[in-house]
Structure 1
Amino acid sequence: MKKQLLSAFFFLSFSLLGFSQEALFGGQQIISPEVHENNTVTFRLMAPDAEKVEITGDFLPTVKMKTPMGEMDGPGKVEMTKNEQGVWTYISEVLNPELYNYSFIIDGFRTTDPNNPFLIRDVASSTNIFIIGGGQAELYKTNDIPHGTIARRWYDSPGLGMDRRITIYTPPGYETSNEKYPVLYLLHGAGGDEEAWISLGRTAQIMDNLIAEGKAKPMIVGMPNGNVIQDGAPGEGSMGFYKPQFMVPKTMDGTYEGAFEDIIKFVEGNYRVKADKADRAIAGLSMGGFHTLHISRYYPNTFDYVGLFSAAIMPREDATGKVYSNFDETLKKQMDNGYKLYWIAIGKTDFLYDANKEYRARLDAMGMPYEYVESEGGHTWRNWRVYLSQFAPRLFQ
């Protein structure tokens, strides 16, 4: 009987080993991407039956693309070369330090790299990523330094009538100290959710590195979901698995801004924070910049630090709620109450550039102080990661 049990055990063990090996040997045995010492990158794909394979990514020259928000700069594409073994190859130019994304296009079908397991989701599209180290990109890497903690929490939102999901970053040492910390509320753009800043924005890596270098104060970062019809990101909330949309109903109609106090109450009631204006900051990209603008003036004595990253400052037909009324009056009240930093940043080729220019003229006319940063490039995560790395060191000093 013992021999039979041992035989069954070894058979099961080898069977399980076989299944695990299937994952190992069932894939393509090539390296892609391969980052070289001179910062060129080789991409490879085994597709012997394909007639044409292209690669597209933000490391290539940009092209104009039509999007739901108008014409914008998008990633270019180039053809790859096929060898006798059916492996398609492309070698990039020398690349600057950066976090890059890319995809393959096989006979017109866009797909990810089967040899690269590292992906990020932006709205409904998933792309592979790789990093060219050095310079600014060192902030995007997980380096050998103390690390903070990332938590996904659920909070009660009476203003929206549901429990909702929020991503919280706490700085290194939070769990072992009795210290109270300031808070940055960091808001995503259209099509994003509570996962956007932590994955696409590399918030945890940026904050860990800035804090370790002594360039930023240790702080808590709250990254809520700005889509008020969702309790959580697609696949993470009660709506289950469904295709994410670029814009969902009620996204920019004042509902989110009006209920934002629910988020502040949760954070200040569940974390060791300094619960005062001097220790609260709010910032957001695109739609999140729109939300930031209106939240900060709707609660005009709540935040000492405000950051508008490529803010979607544009007329909207559904922007008719209470939050958007008395705009100049509440903005002036925010100015009169005083603040330490009102920070506006945008790229020179951003499709929202003119709207931001008009808004700055409005602030100039009323004498409202602000700082302005103008960068290269357009409406991209490449800019927004830089903006966060520039904004965070200015906080709570």
Structure 2
Amino acid sequence: MKKIVLSAAMLLIGSLACAQQALWGMAPVVSPEVHSDNTVTFRLKAPNAAKVQVTGDFLPTQKIKTPFGEFDGPGYADLVQTDGVWEFTTPEPLAPELYSYTFVVDGLKINDPSNVYTIRDVVSVTNVFLIGGGRADLYKVCDVPHGTVSKVWYNSPTLGIDRRLTVYTPAGYEQGSKRYPVFYLLHGMGGDENAWSELGRAAQILDNLIAQGKAEPMIVVMTNGNAALQAAPGESSLGYAAPTLQLPKTMEGSFETAFPDVVNFVDATYRTQRNKHARAIGGLSMGGYHSMHISKQYPDMFDYVGLFSAAIMPDKNAKSPVYDNLEEKLAVQFAKKPALYWIAIGDKDFLYKANCEYREMLDKKGYPYTYYETGEGHIWKNWRIYLTEFVPMLFK
């Protein structure tokens, strides 16, 4: 009998050990450590490494050459080893912001094993940390009423496939009968319907601005702008296909042509205010491009338009009717007097010149718009800023 009990106990212990094996993978060092003065220390235990660096958007930028041109990218800093632990502390306090970083060990880029918080941007997976204060407090989960973020499938008759949206409904939506305005928020090239809720902190920004009385309660619909895809990588019938920028049906008219399918689904499914004055559209980079062309293609659909670091003109190979008669369509759109046409970009953005040229065209035509310029380039730091600036101006 004792042998049976002992055997059962050993089996139980073994089962618990297997089930709880993650408990024993404790972080070997503290990293990142945010100090009281907002300097930050990064550490990595790697006694056999010859060289360790940290790279991230908290460091001075450097030029990086890509197939799409030259961009400002994150810089690098060397860590110093003591007893097998490599360490680097920022020489200056960091400004409030959500930051990302990775380590480079003997030329191999790795994530920080001491930091479980990571985020994916197209094919890059980086660790993240947040320095609070100022605008960055809008990126936190604060003690305020929270909205709901849902992953919702809809059918697009125009594209002939089922596709997925990320939808934010404000706090109290489920309990009430009120109808809400809708903001359609679009991502950039290589992104997907998860980008704004994960990288952009859209739900936290909306929760906090609404709680502070700075924004109207609204529904936010975050689409997948890659018209050939059902959903984000790893979350569709394609399985664990590798994310890529080289996708068909992105900026050749398919997404713009099919966009009424999204609006019709949202109006049929949610308690929306179903009119132009209660609809906004905005997005970053490719999403700004889509917002520009969708809003002029359907001039009675959106009263608020936001172009965040937007691509402007279509490629010469894009032959869709969506892009025909640009000036005539803009004339119709602005004759209908949109409540807000908002353009924002960083002064070091590779699309800065294109935006200047587009603004010059609007100026010559006498079309009113609001312009907002920041420093730096084509980065999520700017796009989160633009979201916090744009949202309070909607539906007033």
TM over 0.5: yes
Residue 300 (structure 2) aligns with: 301
Amino acid at match of 1:338: K
Indicate yes or no: 2:70 matched with 1:91: no
Aligned 1:310-325 pairs, distance under 5 A = 310-325=309-324
Residue 23 (structure 1) aligns with: 22
Displaced runs of 4 or more, over 6 A: none
Q: Deviations over 1:219-256 (max 9, x none)?
A: 00000100011001110011110111123112100010
Amino acid at match of 1:173: G
C-alpha separation between the residues in 2 aligned to 1:373 and 1:383? 11
Residue 272 (structure 1) aligns with: 271
CA contact (8 A) 2:278 2:303 kept: yes
C-alpha separation between the residues in 2 aligned to 1:360 and 1:390? 19
Range with bigger deviation, 243-252 or 199-208: 243-252
Amino acid at match of 2:89: I
Q: Relative to 1, partners in 2 of residues 1:315 and 1:324: Cα closer, same or farther, differing over 3 Å?
A: closer
Measured after TM superposition, the shift of residue 331 of structure 1 is 0.8
CA contact (8 A) 1:252 1:318 kept: no
C-alpha separation between the residues in 2 aligned to 1:290 and 1:38? 40
Measured after TM superposition, the shift of residue 317 of structure 1 is 2.3
Q: Deviations over 1:336-392 (max 9, x none)?
A: 112100000000100100000000011111111100001111100000000000000
> Structure 2: which 5+ runs fail to align?
none
Measured after TM superposition, the shift of residue 68 of structure 1 is 3.4
CA contact (8 A) 2:214 2:392 kept: yes
Amino acid at match of 1:170: T
Measured after TM superposition, the shift of residue 18 of structure 1 is 2.1
C-alpha separation between the residues in 1 aligned to 2:267 and 2:8? 54
C-alpha separation between the residues in 2 aligned to 1:220 and 1:318? 35
Indicate yes or no: 2:196 matched with 1:197: yes
Q: Relative to 1, partners in 2 of residues 1:180 and 1:315: Cα closer, same or farther, differing over 3 Å?
A: closer
Measured after TM superposition, the shift of residue 21 of structure 1 is 5.1
Residue 78 (structure 1) aligns with: 77
C-alpha separation between the residues in 1 aligned to 2:244 and 2:307? 23
Residue 226 (structure 1) aligns with: 225
Instruction: Report the count of equivalent residues.
Output: 395
Q: Deviations over 1:300-328 (max 9, x none)?
A: 11100000000011441232101001111
C-alpha separation between the residues in 2 aligned to 1:16 and 1:44? 34
CA contact (8 A) 1:27 1:114 kept: no
For the aligned residue pairs, the C-alpha RMSD in angstroms reads 1.4
Aligned 1:113-262 pairs, distance under 5 A = 113-262=112-261
Q: Relative to 1, partners in 2 of residues 1:180 and 1:9: Cα closer, same or farther, differing over 3 Å?
A: farther
C-alpha separation between the residues in 2 aligned to 1:238 and 1:20? 30
Q: Deviations over 1:65-91 (max 9, x none)?
A: 11233111110001101112x111111
CA contact (8 A) 2:314 2:323 kept: no
CA contact (8 A) 2:144 2:211 kept: yes
Amino acid at match of 1:392: V
Q: Relative to 1, partners in 2 of residues 1:68 and 1:206: Cα closer, same or farther, differing over 3 Å?
A: farther
SS across alignment from 2:210: helix
Q: Relative to 1, partners in 2 of residues 1:124 and 1:300: Cα closer, same or farther, differing over 3 Å?
A: same
CA contact (8 A) 2:279 2:304 kept: yes
Residue 52 (structure 1) aligns with: 51
C-alpha separation between the residues in 2 aligned to 1:243 and 1:21? 30
Aligned 1:320-359 pairs, distance under 5 A = 320-359=319-358
Q: Normalized against structure 1, the TM-score is what?
A: 0.97
Indicate yes or no: 2:374 matched with 1:375: yes
C-alpha separation between the residues in 1 aligned to 2:171 and 2:6? 50
Measured after TM superposition, the shift of residue 26 of structure 1 is 3.1
Amino acid at match of 2:85: V
> Structure 1: which 5+ runs fail to align?
none
Measured after TM superposition, the shift of residue 5 of structure 1 is 7.2
SS across alignment from 1:153: strand
Q: Relative to 1, partners in 2 of residues 1:5 and 1:312: Cα closer, same or farther, differing over 3 Å?
A: farther
Range with bigger deviation, 312-321 or 383-392: 312-321
Indicate yes or no: 2:62 matched with 1:63: yes
Q: Deviations over 1:76-123 (max 9, x none)?
A: 001101112x11111113100000000000000001011111011000
Amino acid at match of 1:221: V
C-alpha separation between the residues in 1 aligned to 2:268 and 2:366? 36
CA contact (8 A) 2:342 2:371 kept: yes
CA contact (8 A) 1:190 1:247 kept: no
SS across alignment from 1:174: coil
Q: Normalized against structure 2, the TM-score is what?
A: 0.97
Amino acid at match of 1:232: A
C-alpha separation between the residues in 2 aligned to 1:135 and 1:109? 35
C-alpha separation between the residues in 2 aligned to 1:31 and 1:78? 18
